[in-house]
Amino acid sequence: MTSAASDAAVADALVELRSAGVRFGAKQALSGIDFSLARGERVALVGANGSGKSTLLRALHGLVPLSEGRRVVAAPAPRLAMVFQRPYMLRLSARGNVELGLMLQGMPRAQRRERAMRALERVGLSAEAGRSGRVLSAGQQQRVALARAWAVQPDVLLLDEPTASLDPTAKREVEALIDEFALQGITVLMSSHNLGQVKRLASRVVYLEQGRMLADVATDHFFSGPLPAEAHLFLKGELPWA
Partner 1 sequence: MNPFVESLASAAHLVTGADPQLLHIVGLSLAVSGLACVIATALGLLAGAAVAVGRFRGRGAVLVLLNTLLALPSVVVGLAVYLLLSRAGPLGSWGILFTPAAMVIAQAILVTPIVAALARQTIEDAMRDHGEQLRSLGAGRLECALILAWDERLALLTLALVAFGRAISEVGAVMMVGGNIAGVTRVMTTAIALETSKGDLPLALALGLVLLGVVLLLNVAIGVLRQWRLADDQRTEAVA
Residue 37 and residue 69: Cα distance in Å, rounded?
Answer: 16
Minimum CB separation of residue 154 from partner 1 in Å reads: 11
Which part of the chain contacts partner 1 (CB under 8 A), choosing from 23-31, 81-89, 184-192, 219-227? 81-89
* Sheet strands (E) in the chain: 2-3, 13-24, 27-38, 42-46, 68-73, 80-83, 156-160, 187-191, 204-209, 212-218
Minimum CB separation of residue 95 from partner 1 in Å reads: 15
Residue 154 and residue 152: Cα distance in Å, rounded?
Answer: 6
- Is 165 a binder of partner 1 (CB under 8 A)? yes
CB 147 within 8 A of CB 123: yes
Length in residues, the chain:
242
Minimum CB separation of residue 110 from partner 1 in Å reads: 20
- Is 193 a binder of partner 1 (CB under 8 A)? no
- Is 141 a binder of partner 1 (CB under 8 A)? yes
- N-to-C CA span, the chain: 25
Residue of 4, 90, 127, 239 that binds partner 1 (CB under 8 A): 90
Q: Residue 151: which of 230, 242, 79 has the closest Cα?
A: 79
Number of residues binding to partner 1, judged by CB under 8 A: 26
Which part of the chain contacts partner 1 (CB under 8 A), choosing from 8-16, 23-31, 56-64, 179-187? 56-64
Given the rule CB under 8 A, which residues bind partner 1?
58, 61, 63, 81-82, 84, 86-91, 100-101, 104-105, 132, 134-138, 141-142, 148, 165
